[in-house]
Amino acid sequence: MPIVQLGDPGRWTNYHGTGFCRDAARFGLRSGDAQRGRDELAIAAAAVQDWLGRAKAEGKRVRPLGAGWSPSNINICADGWLLHTRRFNRCFRIAQDDVRPGIDAARLMLVEAGALVDEVSDKLEEQGRSLWTSGAGNGQTFAGACATGTHGSMVARGGIQDHVRAVQIVTPQTAYWVEPEAGVMTDDFITAAGAVPLRNEDIFAAAQLPVGSLGIVTAMVVDSVPKFLVRPIQNLRIIDRDALDWLAAGDFRRFSAAYALDRDPAFVQMIVNPYKPFRRPAMLRFLYREEWRPDYPRATPGELGAGYDALSLLGRFLDDYPFARGALLQFAMKRGYASGPDVDDPPVYGSWGEGLDTHRPLAGLFNASVTIDRADLPHVFELACRAYVRHGGSTVMTVRFMERAQGLLAPARFPHNAVIDFDGPRSERTAKAYQAVVDLLDAEGVAFTRHWAKSCRLDAARVAADYGEDLQRWLAARNRLIPDPADRALFRSEVLDGLGLTC
């Protein structure tokens, strides 16, 4: 399992074609064929540490890369060394003898850093287990999704990083096995994995969401729940203003009863046309959780209503014909999002993993968001729609809900969160419209955060204001993991320096 160089240095472009890195030397970390996961990790830790030493000796900065999924440039470092982990993607069961007393090993899986969310989900489902949340797609590496705080989508859960129970992270001087103070794995397992145990609440909370700045994550221990089914309902409905008050109060049952089933939903999503949002139908999607049964009729991801890509096709038209922007968005919603099962259709069921889809690369994508206190939704929703329309934004607005996420730098940091995404075709108008939205929220004194991996125009001052004491705890954890400033400099980049995470 050596780290091998992948071709000559040159330009690297991310998955969605929204960012590139010039003069990058690319390296690949690949899985071996060891029977035990700990043996794989010991070999990988030694190889990564040697690679970091070579980078330091040559004065190169480094960045870990998984699937290259992030639309922003957060995983890019010009004239640096990029470590691709995508082929380091094996998943292993964990034996009861390898965990500390009181830990149920059947819930856990050892995941190499390059495994996709899709691969982790599939492996768990083969064992009768399941993830309990994830983002809209599942083409990210699990480690990469955690590193950037990919928000969840279940109303009673937090972010995808909430699944993480332990992290192996390699720094220039030490390979650490980071856990909460109560611990998860035995010291014998950790030593065999080539790591030093480090059990500390703050360092673990930092390592759950490291933003690629704490070292190279090589593995994680991922928690799970018993496998379950979801029933999707997807329809177009005109939303009343009162419905926003129900959502703000967390009365998802009332919202569901008005627009779908009179049941408690596990997932609620609104895709809204900001042009006349209370007069044009919104695309609503609900998921209702049910007990697992093996005899359910299988459905395709499309039949389950997965996929959020239709609006990416309209960028040119929306820019060329701004007077028709609202009508074109509504046309796209009808064509691209109304194919899911409605209340009166025969019920469709699938596992959580079957309802997710890996969308194809979206060249020309604009991707931005704000996460707010759910209680502020009625006020913020109308403010955002007015500002976005006034400045010519060319995307829909997608609203989802989640609880507070774990990790010191988790954007979903309110007790109850509403996440508003502005995802769709890229244009200068849309970028300016989004900036107008966040400027207006600032002017109105609304507290909000932004997704680390999206095009959200953050800077160090804003990061410090948003995360406050949690940022200081995260920086202290970084300094304990990497005490030598020369070693910390390995992980610097223009983007991360601008966020105040590597200075």
| CA 234 vs CA 132, 303, 306, 334, 463: distances in Å | 20, 10, 10, 12, 36
CB 135 within 8 A of CB 159: no
Structure tokens, 482 = 């990497």
DSSP lists the bridge partners of residue 112 as 219
Sign of the torsion angle spanned by Cα atoms 323, 326, 331, 336? positive
Which of 35-39, 224-228, 353-357 has the lowest average pLDDT?
Answer: 353-357
**Spatial separation of the C-alpha atoms in residues 442 and 131, rounded to whole Å:** 35
* Residue type at 324 in one-letter notation: A
CATH code, domain with 36: 3.30.465.10
pLDDT tens per residue across span 245-256 = 999 999 999 999
Q: Which pLDDT score is estimated for 312?
A: 46
Strand locations in 68-141 (E): 81-84, 91-93, 109-112, 129-130
Q: Are residues 311 and 409 in the same domain?
A: yes
Mean pLDDT in the chain?
A: 89
Q: State yes or no: pLDDT of 453 exceeds 90.
A: no
Q: Which pLDDT score is estimated for 126?
A: 96
Q: Which pLDDT score is estimated for 355?
A: 75
CB 319 within 8 A of CB 329: no
Q: Are residues 152 and 278 in the same domain?
A: no
Please report which confidence band the pLDDT of residue 316 belongs to, taking 50, 70 and 90 as the band edges: very low
Q: Which pLDDT score is estimated for 17?
A: 74
CB 207 within 8 A of CB 167: yes
Mean pLDDT of 467-490: 97
Which of 272-286, 358-372, 482-496 has the lowest average pLDDT?
Answer: 358-372
pTM (two decimals): 0.93
Q: Which pLDDT score is estimated for 329?
A: 64
Q: Are residues 305 and 344 in the same domain?
A: yes
Is residue 208 assigned to a domain? yes
Q: Are residues 332 and 402 in the same domain?
A: yes
Q: Which pLDDT score is estimated for 348?
A: 92
Please count the structural domains in the chain: 2
Please report which confidence band the pLDDT of residue 359 belongs to, taking 50, 70 and 90 as the band edges: low
Phi, psi of 263 (to 5 degrees): -145, 160
Could you tell me which of 309, 423, 328, 319 has the C-alpha nearest to residue 367? 423
Which range among 31-35, 353-357, 415-419 has the greatest average pLDDT? 415-419
Mean pLDDT of 291-316: 68
Q: Are residues 395 and 417 in the same domain?
A: yes
- Residues with Cβ < 8 Å from 249, sequence gap 6 or more? 375
**Spatial separation of the C-alpha atoms in residues 91 and 192, rounded to whole Å:** 17
Please report which confidence band the pLDDT of residue 341 belongs to, taking 50, 70 and 90 as the band edges: confident
Q: Are residues 210 and 241 in the same domain?
A: no
CATH code, domain with 378: 3.40.462.10
Is residue 172 assigned to a domain? yes
One DSSP character per residue, 383-398 reads HHHHHHHHTT--S-EE
Q: Are residues 210 and 285 in the same domain?
A: no
Q: Which residue has the higher pLDDT, 139 or 486?
A: 486
* Residue type at 456 in one-letter notation: C
Q: Which pLDDT score is estimated for 8?
A: 85
Q: State yes or no: pLDDT of 319 exceeds 60.
A: no
Q: State yes or no: pLDDT of 497 exceeds 70.
A: yes
Strand locations in 54-160 (E): 62-65, 81-84, 91-93, 109-112, 129-130
CB 21 within 8 A of CB 75: no
Q: Are residues 61 and 197 in the same domain?
A: yes
Q: State yes or no: pLDDT of 18 exceeds 80.
A: no
Q: Are residues 439 and 494 in the same domain?
A: no
> What are the b/e assignments for 224-257, b being 16+ CB within 10 Å?
beebbbbbbbbbbeebeeebbebbbebebebbbe
| CA 294 vs CA 190, 225, 227, 291: distances in Å | 37, 16, 10, 10
Q: Which residue has the higher pLDDT, 430 or 162?
A: 162
Which range among 4-18, 138-152, 172-186, 279-293 has the greatest average pLDDT? 172-186
**Spatial separation of the C-alpha atoms in residues 385 and 393, rounded to whole Å:** 9
CB 422 within 8 A of CB 71: no
Q: Which residue has the higher pLDDT, 6 or 440?
A: 440
The number of helix segments (H) and strand segments (E) in the chain equals: 14, 21
Is residue 215 assigned to a domain? yes
3-state secondary structure of 115: coil
Q: Could you list the residue range(s) of the whole structural domain that residue 118 is in? A: 4-226+472-499
**Spatial separation of the C-alpha atoms in residues 400 and 379, rounded to whole Å:** 16
Is residue 203 assigned to a domain? yes
Please report which confidence band the pLDDT of residue 339 belongs to, taking 50, 70 and 90 as the band edges: low
Please report which confidence band the pLDDT of residue 430 belongs to, taking 50, 70 and 90 as the band edges: confident
Is residue 97 assigned to a domain? yes
Mean pLDDT of 332-360: 76
Is residue 464 assigned to a domain? no
**Spatial separation of the C-alpha atoms in residues 177 and 184, rounded to whole Å:** 10
CB 371 within 8 A of CB 153: no
| CA 228 vs CA 23, 107, 148, 352, 371: distances in Å | 46, 14, 27, 7, 28
Is residue 357 assigned to a domain? no
3-state secondary structure of 273: coil
**Spatial separation of the C-alpha atoms in residues 85 and 62, rounded to whole Å:** 13
Q: Which pLDDT score is estimated for 67?
A: 75
Burial class of 33 by CB neighbour count within 10 A (0 to 12, 13 to 18, 19+): exposed
Please report which confidence band the pLDDT of residue 109 belongs to, taking 50, 70 and 90 as the band edges: very high
Q: Are residues 91 and 221 in the same domain?
A: yes
Q: Are residues 245 and 218 in the same domain?
A: no
Q: Are residues 310 and 387 in the same domain?
A: yes
Q: Which pLDDT score is estimated for 428?
A: 85
Is residue 459 assigned to a domain? no
Mean pLDDT of 86-107: 97
